[in-house]
Amino acid sequence: MKKLFYILIIVAVFSSCSEYQRTLKSESIATKFKVGEELYNEGKYTKANRLFAQIVPKYRGKPQAEKLMFLYSNSFYKMKDYYVAGYQFERFTSSYPKSEKLEEASFLSAKSYYMLSPVYSKDQTETKEAIEKLQSFINLFPESEHLPEANKLVKELDFKLEKKAFSIAKQYGDIAPGYSKDFNAAIKSFDNFLFEFPGSVLREDALFYRLDSAYQLAMNSREYKKNVDGVIEHLRKNRLETAKEYYTGFKKSYTDSKYKEEAHAMGESLEEELKKYSTKS
């Protein structure tokens, strides 16, 4: 009995494959549309896509073209070919602005760009483009059933940009041994980060690492020969005072910070160094 069952399965599979091959070679665009849609509904998107690709140009201008173009676009999405899916959905929305599938196609187009967004450590051009596409969808369809997901995706992408900006700023002070650290660049980068992302969950970390960079810059400033001591001393004092300001601001914003002890130690060291300048004057 089992043997007969397996034979029937094999026959069905070969029959299905041969039907598909016959349809690919067929001259009938109606047959290709019918079989392609059946394959699509069965989740066989790659096979369906091959058939759709053969007939899309021939259906242009016909009543069935709208349905075909949506299935064709979505087959790319289901195949995870997001570059082509995004492009094809955009073509669909521009070609059929009154379609009942307009909202869904617009969302899937924007989501295709979201799917192309790389990890935060890489270039974020696609991430910024995805945010623009999703925001455009949100503006066009403020009552959409896809709105909660669209907002969630934008939030994820925004956080990816935050992590990228934060990691760039932090790397200036985390250069590998043997290379010089650029604390000035780190401070400027953290300033930019705090300005661009004022409500970021990474704000505490950014404020601390900006303080740490300013502290390292001030404490590692060296004094030179007597004829230029005045200039160097003045520069170092300014750096110490700036670092102290960052410490005061950090302490005020995060009284119970996870960096509390490290920040406090820096604050005490800065006070000790600044006392030397008050005794000199």
Each residue's pLDDT tens digit, 205-261: 999 999 999 999 999 877 554 444 555 556 788 899 999 999 999 999 999 999 999
Each residue's pLDDT tens digit, 26-38: 889 999 999 999 9
Decide: 126 and 117 in contact? Cβ < 8 Å: yes
pLDDT at residue 17, rounded to an integer: 61
pTM over 0.75: yes
Decide: 127 and 118 in contact? Cβ < 8 Å: yes
Average pLDDT, the chain: 89
Distance of CA 119 to the CA centre of its chain: 7
- Return the higher-pLDDT residue of 4 and 18: 18
Share of residues in the chain with pLDDT > 70 (%):
86
- Give the number of other CB atoms < 10 A from CB of residue 35: 20
Tokens matching residue 231: 């200039």
| Burial (0-12, 13-18, 19+ Cβ within 10 Å), 73 | buried
Q: Which long-range contacts (CB under 8 A, 24 or more apart) does 96-103 make?
A: 96/66, 96/69, 99/66, 99/70, 101/66, 101/70, 103/141, 103/144, 103/146
Judged against a pLDDT cut of 50, whether residue 180 lies above it is answered with: yes
- Return the higher-pLDDT residue of 233 and 63: 63
Judged against a pLDDT cut of 70, whether residue 202 lies above it is answered with: yes
Domains, the chain, ranges and CATH? Answer: 162-280 (1.25.40.10)
pLDDT at residue 191, rounded to an integer: 96
Each residue's pLDDT tens digit, 70-127: 999 999 999 999 999 999 999 999 999 999 999 999 999 999 999 999 999 999 999 9
pLDDT at residue 8, rounded to an integer: 44
pLDDT at residue 11, rounded to an integer: 41
- Return the higher-pLDDT residue of 179 and 69: 69
